[in-house]
Amino acid sequence: MQAYSGVLVWVLVIVLIYFMIIKPQRKQQKLRQEMLSNLKVGDNVVTLGGIHGKIVRITDDIIKLEVAENVRLKMQREAVNFVVEDED
């Protein structure tokens, strides 16, 4: 019986790790991938580097951001951190 309790403790630890770390991380990855796939021209975004800009062109992996009048940056789509709902 004591041998089973040791195994049971390890099983509980693994289950706890899964539900506290792995599952939430997968959910965040899924939400991020969904956000990246839903990017469209005209969206105001902030990049991982903190650059604010408006998407003016999108291809498969590349986006062009307008960060100021006549200033455009070419970036990887994955560089987008989040979409800003209301940009001043």
What global pTM score does this model have?
Answer: 0.74
pLDDT, averaged across the chain: 92
For residues 13 and 44, give the distance between their C-alpha atoms in angstroms, rounded to a whole number: 43
Q: What is the pLDDT of residue 88?
A: 56
Percent of the chain topping pLDDT 90: 86
> At residue 4, does pLDDT exceed 90?
no
Structure token pair of residue 35: 């956000």
